[in-house]
Structure 1
């Protein structure tokens, strides 16, 4: 057993520095000690998961928001939910959910869970819409493989590349419930539709509004604040995960989202450093990507400037790879079209054909990487959607039950470690 640690005195965070040491056990009865351990378990779990994500991000040279990273982030949301359920399964902790100050934080968490469902729904529709861009890029590559022979093949490839930045990829996201597209029928598991005036940016700003750790109570150090920190931690996990998802995929009206990190965790929290570092990394990539967008990326312009509109500002690494390969290939095809305008037979040199083949192979490889990860990510987003629905229902049920129990047993008040 580890050596006893002196209790910290830094407000309610000091309570979370206790471990099952001689000092902690001597300070509380066994039931209260179990409460502390359950509360601290969530903090440790979130800290471990975010530290693992940060380690993965630090090892990546390119964009951090890859399909693999998002998959691990969404898995962290689910596992944090499981850890949170273990906390509220402790009877005295559950009993405090309907009492101040935890009741207000619980209501905030319930509200953020509803907004989380909206973001997950929009992201799911957006991921489905990326299939249109993927098909266009794959068509462009297939026109030029195994070896292009004529400018007619180049023209077909250029038309396919132009569709990557066309309006097709945005139809699914902006579709109204009265006019569902064929792809949207696969999203029936999700209960919400994305209207034309829905804004991912305004939604994320609303999720992050008033997100602050609970203040320590002046009357008793740590009283009521361990559970408060647990509720704040779950809200922070949801806000950070949805912000990263909106940063990765081009959700509707994503541009109005604040680029600045949405969560400002207190330094004393175990998970604060890892989350802050991840937010800074994502925010930096977001700013760099927005600066690189062409002035006409919102629509119109030449075919080469339109490429990337489907993922305008989106940081999903695999989609960026497709856009980058498509731009490179399209630039080469435009050069050939300008150089060979006077060519009578419409044929190209072997050297040019070989260069085009290499670029087309790069585009095909990027398409394969996107295709392999997109469907599993869609399924995981839908799974997290249903997990959050269950989480919210269980939390509402727990609050209602404890409120009735507290009202029925309003005898002698008891003091707990949280």
Structure 2
């Protein structure tokens, strides 16, 4: 008895079609080249799903989502996903399909998003460098208050250091020095005054949609699976940059949309963990923005947990120092030595600030290195896509020459 034909995948989306095509190919085709293509595509989606699932598990159920360890894992996921994507592009039939519809439009969109991503990474590098200035100021405030014998002069120095962390809150006459040019070095050209992280993120997320569903009869159309790979990689890049902009106070971040930028189809393996992470970050972003606007304080423009801890400890310490200064004015105290009880309170707050500074310092340098690594990896991946897009014109010329000589052109696989 003849084997039954595979059930018709009518109405099935691309992600469902992938599983059907893979099983159908295994049964009916036995074409090693096409099976390699399908395996590479499946590996890309499975890898992205695994890394996002690990990120979702890493995020604490309570408390802030965006921390230095989380961002480090996120950028590492971008690096490894880029490697998986380049493994797909390394297959000759896939490279040949990049310049053919419908993959050509998706590839062009990915190239455009890559350029915008480089700008966001550049701005993030500037921000991370500027955080070092805030870290040094906070550490100065904590260190001078951990002296063996506290004097009022230590209090005044600590308050001046804290004023550099919150220049908008500084009283009249207390000015915050601008960062030096060396501190503000970036990966490429400096960010202009008119550059907007928010506008860049909105542009990156614009028109980000999965390939449209197609009838079953068109399932073998060229570029079908490659479109999924291009969409998946674009989604990973957009999500990662949105999370980075949410975490660090990039220039003109306020105009970025707080709503999640990626709406993956439910059939995608990585849809659930990405949607979960986006919802948690968006909710935290909304709470932070609401708290900052209602309090009227100069709340940080970023959600980075370690920087929030430094700011919170610095504000608590500054409030205590202001309270002590007001008491001294009321009592008209002329003694420079601080009382034992107040010394203990100040020391405890200073130790909390010093601990927050250590946590920020431990994760800041590794994250800066990863931002640079992602920057250069995106450049390399973009060059690979450009190389693939230039493949078809060369192949077309070769095919024309082969036809003239009577040699049949190479067979392209649908991908």
TM-score norm. by structure 2 comes to 0.88
**Post-superposition shift, 1:407?**
4.8
Equivalent position of 2:376 in the other structure: 386
Deviation digits for residues 152-177 of structure 1, max 9, x if unmatched?
Answer: 221211111111012798955xxxxx
Q: Which runs of 5+ in 1 are unaligned?
A: 173-179, 298-304
Distance (Å, rounded) in 2 between the aligned partners of 1:171 and 1:256: 24
Matched, 1:38 2:65: no
The 5 A counterparts of 1:137-216 are: 137-147=138-148, 149-166=150-167, 171=178, 181-185=181-185, 187=186, 190-216=187-213
Equivalent position of 1:221 in the other structure: 219
Distance (Å, rounded) in 1 between the aligned partners of 2:22 and 2:257: 41
Q: Which moved more, 1:395-404 or 1:360-369?
A: 395-404
Contact kept? 2:95, 2:391, Cα under 8 Å? no
The 5 A counterparts of 1:12-27 are: 12-18=14-20, 23-27=24-28
The 5 A counterparts of 1:15-414 are: 15-18=17-20, 23-28=24-29, 29-57=31-59, 59=60, 61-147=62-148, 149-166=150-167, 171=178, 181-185=181-185, 187=186, 190-218=187-215, 219-221=217-219, 223=221, 224-293=223-292, 305-306=297-298, 308=299, 312-341=300-329, 342=331, 343-409=333-399
Distance (Å, rounded) in 1 between the aligned partners of 2:345 and 2:61: 29
Task: Compute the RMSD of aligned alpha carbons.
Answer: 2.3
SS at match of 2:167: coil
Q: Which moved more, 1:48-57 or 1:221-230?
A: 221-230
Distance (Å, rounded) in 2 between the aligned partners of 1:8 and 1:55: 34
Distance (Å, rounded) in 2 between the aligned partners of 1:15 and 1:406: 29
Distance (Å, rounded) in 1 between the aligned partners of 2:325 and 2:183: 36
**Post-superposition shift, 1:127?**
0.3
Equivalent position of 2:406 in the other structure: none
Deviation digits for residues 118-158 of structure 1, max 9, x if unmatched?
Answer: 00000001100111111110111011104452222212111
Give the total of aligned pairs: 391
Distance 1:294 1:414, change over 3 A: same
Equivalent position of 1:302 in the other structure: none
Distance 1:147 1:17, change over 3 A: farther
Contact kept? 1:133, 1:169, Cα under 8 Å? no
Deviation digits for residues 319-361 of structure 1, max 9, x if unmatched?
Answer: 1110011011111111111222122314432111101100000
Distance (Å, rounded) in 2 between the aligned partners of 1:217 and 1:141: 63
SS at match of 1:183: coil
Higher relative contact order (CA 8 A, sep 6+): 2
Q: Which runs of 5+ in 2 are unaligned?
A: 1-5, 169-174, 404-408
Contact kept? 1:7, 1:14, Cα under 8 Å? no
TM-score norm. by structure 1 comes to 0.88
Distance 1:133 1:60, change over 3 A: farther
Contact kept? 2:22, 2:38, Cα under 8 Å? no
Contact kept? 1:36, 1:417, Cα under 8 Å? no
Distance (Å, rounded) in 2 between the aligned partners of 1:72 and 1:123: 16
Structure ID, larger Rg? 2
